[in-house]
Amino acid sequence: MVSHYPGRLIVIEGLDRAGKSTQCSRLFRTLEQNGRNVEMIKFPDRGTPMGQIIDKYLTDNTMNLSDQAIHLLFSANRWEQVPHIIDKLKKGTVLIVDRYMYSGIAFSAAKGLDFNWCKSPDVGLPEPDLVIFLDVSIETASKRGGYGEERYENAEIQSRVRSQFLKLKESNWLWIDANKSLDEVEAEVNNEVQKVLNNSTQNR
Ligand code: Z5A
Ligand code: MG
C-alpha cells in the first residue's frame, strides 16, 4: 500500500494512553534529524471550530450529542484537513497522523452503531501508507498519566474499542505490544517506517 503521491502518510493508532502522541513526537524528531520533510497531524484536531465542539463533548459529560452526530463531527474534522494533507503529500512531506478514521470507526461501533454505517463518512479520505497500532493492556494504560479524565476512558469501553480495532486490522498493519518501554516501542516504529520510506520516491 504505497500512495501515488511523493509524500507518505503514516498513521499511529491505538487504545487510550498507548503512547501514540509520544511516539508520534519521537518519530517526528527522528525523521527531522534525518533531514526529512516531515509534519505531524492529530485527530481530533481540537483547534478548529468543529474540533472545539468535539473537545467540549469529550471533556464535559453533561454535553449531550447523539452518537451519530458526534461520529459525523469527528469525520468532518478529518475532512476539513484533506486539502492540507493532499497539498503536503504532493510536496513530498512525510505526514505522521496521530489517530485517523480507524479511531472514528472503532469508538462509534463500540457504542453500538452499525459498523458499516460508521465506515461510510470516511470513505475517500487519503489512504495511509502504513498503519501502526499500539496495543496496550487496560491495566498498563490505567497507570499512565492522565487516564480517566475524559469520556470513553474506562476499562469497559476501552475493551469494546479494542475488539472493534481487531475487526479493522489488516494484514499490513504493524501491531506493536505497547506495554513495552518507550524506547523498545520507538525502535519497532522506526524500523517499519524506515522500510516504507525506503520505497519512497520523495525528494529529501
Ligand atoms: N475519538 C473518537 O471517538 N473518534 C475519532 O474519530 C477520534 C477520536 C479521532 C480523544 O482522543 C478521544 O477521542 C479518544 C478517542 C476519541 N478517547 N478515548 N479514549 P485523543 O487522541 O485526543 O486522546 P489523548 O488525550 O491524546 O490521549 P491518548 O491519545 O489516548 O493518549 P496517547 O497519545 O496514546 O498516550 P501519550 O499521551 O503518548 O502517553 C500517555 C502517558 O503515558 C504519558 O505520560 C507517557 O509518557 C506515558 N507512556 C506512553 N507510552 C509509554 C510506555 N511505553 N511506557 C511508559 N509510559 C508510557
Ligand atoms: Mg494522544
Q: What is the ipTM of this complex?
A: 0.97
Q: Whose CA is nearest to atom 6 of ligand 1?
A: 104
User: Any idea what the Cα angle at residue 143 is, between residues 140 and 144, rounded to 5°?
Assistant: 95
pLDDT value, residue 3: 67
**Distance (Å, rounded) from C-alpha 104 to C-alpha 117?**
11
* Nearest ligand by distance to the CA of 144: 1
**Other CB atoms closer than 10 Å to residue 171's CB: what's the count?**
4
**Distance (Å, rounded) from C-alpha 5 to C-alpha 182?**
31
**Distance (Å, rounded) from C-alpha 55 to C-alpha 196?**
33
Q: Whose CA is nearest to atom 13 of ligand 1?
A: 44
Distance 145 CA to ligand 1 centre (A): 10
pLDDT value, residue 202: 45
Does ligand 1 come within 6 angstroms of the Cβ of 81? no
**pLDDT per residue as tens, the chain (204 positions):** 556 899 999 999 999 999 999 999 999 999 999 999 999 999 999 999 999 999 999 999 999 999 999 999 999 999 999 999 999 999 999 999 999 999 999 999 999 999 999 999 999 999 999 999 999 999 999 899 888 888 988 899 999 999 999 999 998 899 999 999 999 999 999 999 999 999 865 444
Does ligand 1 come within 6 angstroms of the Cβ of 152? yes
Please give the model's pTM, rounded to 2 decimal places: 0.96
3-state secondary structure the chain: CCCCCCCEEEEEEECCCCCHHHHHHHHHHHHHHCCCCEEEEECCCCCCHHHHHHHHHHHCCCCCCCHHHHHHHHHHHHHCCHHHHHHHHHCCCEEEEECCHHHHHHHHHHCCCCHHHHHHHHCCCCCCCEEEEEECCHHHHHHCCCCCCCCCCCHHHHHHHHHHHHHHCCCCCEEEECCCCHHHHHHHHHHHHHHHHHCCCCCC
Question: Which sign does the torsion angle of CA 25, 41, 132, 6 carry?
Answer: negative
**Distance (Å, rounded) from C-alpha 30 to C-alpha 182?**
14
**Distance (Å, rounded) from C-alpha 158 to C-alpha 145?**
16
Grid cell locating 114: 452499525
Q: Whose CA is nearest to atom 3 of ligand 1?
A: 107
CATH number of 8-199: 3.40.50.300
Answer yes or no: are the C-beta atoms of 94 and 202 closer than 8 Å: yes
